[in-house]
């Protein structure tokens, strides 16, 4: 049967992937209330159709920080793509390049940033960054990303500690021994993340530290309130991504589509979700 929509691919993946892999991709934190709330919130959105508007020419193109993309949908950062496909993030990059949209590559990719850039040399790519306790590691990665031609740096700010994903705990989830990550951090005990690697002390002043390392535009991912959107502007970032991390980190937060920045925040900044 041909796969014609996202739910078809989801059903196919659930059928063919190992259970531990599927559970890792699909799980939310704790009781999965926020993950499920994301889906329900989108189902509650209704179009307000207008008719007789002359639809012989349809143009879905838009601009994202000065770069034209073919339609206002991009690929959010997710890790460990080689769990699902041998080429991993290289295939994701090629798909984004073919569709002429933005691909945000995860810190926890299973291909190197150089491999991803070579796989889709004309692609529009941003890099999603976690700041690690070992700041030299993060600094080196930022410099590699810029050298590889990535066009933006996305700081994920909503993960001071990994979420409690119960299915991963039940499954004792680990990356396969043959699969190493770009960062070279092979020992993974926190739901696929290196133990105690993410720096929980990260704060708004670290934006200035990142700005000192790179000329790339900085986008902050994980904003859910007007107050934090205002702080992002005051600290000179170029964009924000309204995100609850897919409900995979803090359970009990609002669905992203109903987050406050959409309705309350107005400023000279790019807003994405």
**Residue 235 among the catalytic residues:** no
Catalytic position from the list 16, 46, 245, 266:
245
Cα–Cα distance measured from residue 96 to residue 71, given in angstroms and rounded to the nearest whole number: 11
List of residues 6+ apart from 137 with CB closer than 8 A: 183
Cα–Cα distance measured from residue 62 to residue 25, given in angstroms and rounded to the nearest whole number: 30
| Nearest CA among 183, 177, 175 for reference residue 134 | 183
Q: Do residues 84 and 110 make contact, with C-beta atoms less than 8 angstroms apart?
A: no
Count CB-CB contacts under 10 A for residue 204: 14
b/e per residue 158-187 (b: at least 16 CB within 10 A): bbeebbebebbeebebebeeeeebbbebee
CA 93 from chain center: how many Å?
13
69: phi then psi, degrees, rounded to nearest 5: -120, 160
Q: Two tokens at 197?
A: 């690697």
Please list the active-site residues: 245
């Amino acid at each position: 049967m041909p796969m014609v929509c996202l739910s078809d691919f989801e059903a196919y993946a659930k059928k063919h992937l190992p259970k531990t892999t599927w559970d890792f991709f699909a799980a939310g934190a704790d009781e999965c209330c926020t993950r499920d709330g994301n889906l329900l919130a989108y189902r509650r959105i209704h179009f307000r159709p207008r008719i007789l508007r002359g639809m012989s020419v349809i143009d879905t193109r838009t601009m994202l920080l000065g770069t034209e993309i073919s339609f206002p949908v991009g690929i959010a950062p997710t890790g460990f793509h080689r769990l699902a496909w041998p080429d991993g993030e290289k295939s994701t990059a090629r798909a984004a390049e073919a569709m002429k949209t933005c691909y945000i590559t995860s810190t926890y990719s299973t291909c190197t940033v150089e491999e991803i850039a070579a796989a889709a040399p004309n692609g529009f790519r941003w890099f999603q960054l976690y700041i690690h306790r070992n700041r030299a590691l993060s600094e080196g990665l930022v410099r590699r990303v810029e050298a590889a031609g990535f066009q933006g740096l996305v700081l994920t700010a909503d993960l001071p500690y990994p979420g409690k994903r119960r299915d991963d705990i039940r499954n004792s989830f680990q990356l396969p021994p043959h699969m190493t990550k770009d960062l070279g951090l092979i020992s993974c005990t926190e739901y696929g993340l290196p133990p105690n690697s993410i720096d929980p002390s990260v704060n708004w002043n670290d934006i200035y530290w990142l700005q000192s390392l790179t000329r790339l535009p900085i986008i902050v991912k994980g904003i859910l309130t007007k107050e934090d959107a205002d702080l992002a502007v005051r600290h000179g970032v170029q964009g924000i991504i309204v995100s609850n991390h897919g409900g995979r980190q803090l359970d009990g937060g609002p669905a992203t589509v109903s987050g406050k920045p959409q309705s309350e925040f107005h400023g000279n900044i790019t807003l994405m979700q």
